[in-house]
Structures are given as structure tokens and as C-alpha cells.
């Protein structure tokens, strides 16, 4: 009897486990099918962008990588020249001038932009009446086209009739030549760049609003002062935003072009001849597209090196809440 019961039980168990296995297999097959279809759907919708990216970004990048080793005068077929463009660069005084101008601009403008944007974000994070109007006002210049910005600032920095010198005269200070002085042209560009920090400010504002009020309340209970709360709560928890703005700011600043192209044309005396402006001249005014491509790849290498360095250094000061530090 006992043997019969055992056999029945074993048979029921076998049947049940086979049925379960069939169900599981069917379910996972259906899931795989669904996953596959989701992938297909996703790629169908991504296809226009991917095709554009390959055709208009990856393709030209690869082509320019090849052209960097060629003499290419645009209207004539390219001719292989090996490392000639790089050796020309080493002897080109304007390459160094433009690189120096760009480094000067980047390493002064970016920290200032981040500081100004952070300061503005902290001010605009206060619970005040009409704060959204102020936020909009601070962000609006970031939406203004670069050409319009440049023209407005040309007027502001006009030595005779500009707003900047009118302000200086009111304070009893001597008028400055701004864009017309080789010494002041780059600082003028840097001041001008602070006008458009609305984008960074918005990122800081979002970061600030993501910091739980709980931390500040606990700090207040412990007797912390505002300065200490900024230093020990706000800055550490905002460090990912600071990191992001710094990385993106440096990449953008290495490519500064429009303001110099419109406002100064690289002058006076090459004081604002930035790297990309020099690259543009070589590629489109001197018939040296091969050399311009080499310049572009050198800039890419410099930018990449700085970005990797920042990621390396970021380990020491960027705090992510999700990470165990």
C-alpha cells in the first residue's frame, strides 16, 4: 500500500514539475520575444538619429582623422603627407598663440562661470515672492543667440559710448578700451561669458532643490551656522553638479569661437585669436583643410586629456549619495 501511494505521489510530483517547467519555459520564451520586440521598436525609433549621427558626426570625424595626415586644399583631391601637418604645427607660432589664448580664456572663464552660476543659484533658491520671475530673468541670456550677445556686448564695451565706461566714469574711474586693447580683450570676453551662465545656474538650482531639508534641520539643531551648512552640506551634495558644469564648461570653452569671430575677428593683435577661430581660418580661408583637421584632432586630444584628468580628480571631491564613500 505504502509503495502504491509513494508511486502515485511521485507520479503527481513528476507531472506537476513537468507542467511547471513547461509553463516557465513558455513564459521565458514569451518574455524573450517581448524583449526582442522592444529592442526592435526602440531601434526603429532611434534609427533616424543613429543614421544622422553616423552620417553627419561619425563620418566627418573619421574623414577628418584621415585628412589630418593629408594635404587637402578642398578643391583638389587630398594627397597623403604623413606627419607633415603635425610637424608644421610644431613650428607654427600662431598655433601656440591661439592655444595660449584659449587656455587663458578657459582656465579663468570656467571657474568664474561656475562660481557666478552657483552664487546665483543659491540666491534664487530662497523662498521669496516673485522668485520665478528672477529665475527666468537670470536664465534668459542663456537663450539669446551668441551673435546677438556679441553685438550687445560690443555696445556695452564701446570705449566712448558704452555702458561699461559710463559706469566707470560715474565712479570716478578712468575709461577702459575693452575689446580694443590687446591686454583687455580676453578679460572682456571672459566678463561677457558670465552673461550666459543661466544654463549652469539652472543645473545648480535643480541640484540645490534635490538636497533634503532634513540635513539642514539636523545641522541647525546641532548649532551649525549658514556658512558651515554651505560648506558641509550644500557643497558636498552639490559636487556632482559642480563636476558636471566644470567638465562641460571646459569642453565648451576650448571651442570658443562665435564671440571672437563676431566681436573682434581675432584681434587686436591676435589677442583673441582662439584655437577654433585659427582652425576655421586654416580650413576655410587658407585652403588648408588637412592642417585644420590635424588642429581639430589635437584639440580633441587636449580636451579628452583634460576631461579624463577631471574624472580622475573627481574621485577625491565629488560625492554621490548612492555611493559608499
Partner 1 sequence: MAIRPFARRRLLKGGLAVSGAAALAACGATPTPQVIEKVVTQIVEGTPQTVVETVVVKETVVVEQQVPVEAGGGGASVNISFYADDLAQQAVWDGIFTAFMQDNPDIKLRPQQVLGEDYFARLQVLMAGGVAPEVMEMESKQVPGFVVRNGMLDLQPYVDSSSVIKRDDFIPYQWDKHVHAGGFYGLPFSISTVVIYYNLAVFEAAGVNPPTATWDDPDWSFAGFLDTARQLTSGEGTSAVFGYMQTTWWPYMFPWLWSNGGDVLSEDRTQCTLGGEGTQGALQFLADLINKDKVWPTPDQATEGMDAMFGSDRIGMTPRTVQNTSIMNATEGLRWNVAPMPKGDGQTALTRAPSDCYCIWSQAPAKDAAWKVAEWITGPKGADLLLKGGYLMPARKGVATADSLHQSIGESINVEVLIDGTENHTGRQPVTVKWAEMGDALGSGYEAVLAGTKTPAEYAAETCAIIDPMMASIPADQQGWLGD
Note whether 74 binds partner 1 by CB under 8 A. Answer: yes
Helix or strand run (H / E) with residue 79: strand 79-80
- Give the C-alpha separation, 196 to 214, whole Å: 33
Note whether 160 binds partner 1 by CB under 8 A. Answer: yes
- Give the C-alpha separation, 183 to 80, whole Å: 41
Q: Which stretch binds partner 1 (CB under 8 A): 102-110, 159-167, 206-214, 292-300?
A: 159-167
Cis check for the bond before 268: say yes or no (omega within 30 of 0): yes
Residue nearer to partner 1 on the CB measure, 16 or 269 = 269
Contact 232, 219 (CB under 8 A): yes
Cell of 121: 543659484
Give me the least distance between CB of 93 and partner 1, in Å please. Answer: 7
Give me the least distance between CB of 73 and partner 1, in Å please. Answer: 5
Note whether 286 binds partner 1 by CB under 8 A. Answer: yes
Note whether 268 binds partner 1 by CB under 8 A. Answer: yes
Cell of 303: 580636451
Interhelix angle 289-317/235-254, nearest 10 degrees: 170
Note whether 262 binds partner 1 by CB under 8 A. Answer: no
220 CB contacts (<8 Å, ≥6 apart)? 229
Give me the least distance between CB of 193 and partner 1, in Å please. Answer: 22
The only residue of 104, 215, 287, 306 in contact with partner 1, by rule CB under 8 A: 287
Measured at the CA of 121, the angle between CA 322 and CA 197, to 5 degrees, comes to 105
Note whether 104 binds partner 1 by CB under 8 A. Answer: no
Binding residues for partner 1, rule CB under 8 A, total 28
Q: Which residues pair with 56 in a beta bridge?
A: none
What letter would DSSP give residue 70?
A: E
Note whether 267 binds partner 1 by CB under 8 A. Answer: yes
Give me the least distance between CB of 98 and partner 1, in Å please. Answer: 12
- What are the Cα distances from residue 301, in Å, to 65, 66, 254? 12, 15, 11
Count of helix runs (H) and strand runs (E) in the chain: 15, 2
Nearest to 85 by CA among 286, 303, 305: 286
Residue nearer to partner 1 on the CB measure, 37 or 220 = 37
The only residue of 174, 209, 285, 325 in contact with partner 1, by rule CB under 8 A: 285
The contact mask relative to partner 1 for 21-60 (x = CB under 8 A, - = no) is ----------------x---x--xx---------------
Residue nearer to partner 1 on the CB measure, 140 or 166 = 166
Residues that bind partner 1 (CB under 8 A): 37, 41, 44-45, 73-76, 93, 158-161, 175, 177, 180, 182, 266-270, 273, 281, 284-287
Amino acid at each position: 500500500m505504502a509503495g502504491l501511494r509513494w508511486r502515485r505521489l511521485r507520479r503527481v510530483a513528476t507531472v506537476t514539475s513537468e507542467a511547471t517547467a513547461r509553463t516557465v519555459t513558455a513564459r521565458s520564451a514569451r518574455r524573450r520575444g517581448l524583449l526582442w520586440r522592444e529592442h526592435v521598436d526602440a531601434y526603429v525609433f532611434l534609427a533616424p538619429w543613429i543614421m544622422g549621427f553616423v552620417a553627419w558626426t561619425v563620418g566627418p570625424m573619421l574623414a577628418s582623422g584621415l585628412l589630418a595626415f593629408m594635404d587637402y586644399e578642398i578643391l583638389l583631391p587630398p594627397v597623403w603627407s604623413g606627419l607633415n601637418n603635425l610637424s608644421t604645427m610644431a613650428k607654427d607660432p600662431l598655433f601656440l598663440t591661439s592655444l595660449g589664448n584659449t587656455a587663458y580664456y578657459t582656465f579663468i572663464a570656467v571657474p568664474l562661470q561656475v562660481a557666478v552660476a552657483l552664487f546665483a543659484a543659491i540666491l534664487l533658491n530662497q523662498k521669496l515672492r516673485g522668485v520665478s520671475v528672477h529665475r527666468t530673468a537670470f536664465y534668459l541670456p542663456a537663450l539669446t543667440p551668441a551673435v546677438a550677445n556679441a553685438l550687445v556686448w560690443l555696445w556695452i564695451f564701446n570705449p566712448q559710448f558704452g555702458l561699461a565706461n559710463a559706469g566707470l566714469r560715474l565712479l570716478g574711474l578712468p575709461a577702459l578700451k575693452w575689446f580694443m586693447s590687446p591686454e583687455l580683450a580676453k578679460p572682456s570676453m571672459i566678463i561677457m561669458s558670465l552673461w550666459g551662465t543661466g544654463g549652469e545656474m539652472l543645473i545648480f538650482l535643480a541640484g540645490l532643490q534635490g538636497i533634503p531639508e532634513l540635513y539642514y534641520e539636523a545641522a541647525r539643531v546641532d548649532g551649525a551656522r549658514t556658512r558651515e551648512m554651505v560648506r558641509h552640506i550644500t557643497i558636498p551634495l552639490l559636487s556632482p553638479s559642480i563636476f558636471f558644469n566644470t567638465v562641460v564648461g571646459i569642453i565648451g570653452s576650448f571651442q570658443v569661437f562665435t564671440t571672437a569671430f563676431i566681436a573682434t575677428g581675432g584681434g587686436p593683435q591676435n589677442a583673441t585669436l582662439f584655437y577654433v577661430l585659427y582652425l576655421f581660418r586654416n580650413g576655410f580661408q587658407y585652403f588648408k583643410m588637412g592642417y585644420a583637421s590635424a588642429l581639430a584632432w589635437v584639440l580633441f586630444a587636449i580636451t579628452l586629456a583634460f576631461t579624463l584628468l577631471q574624472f580622475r580628480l573627481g574621485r577625491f571631491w565629488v560625492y554621490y549619495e548612492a555611493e559608499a564613500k
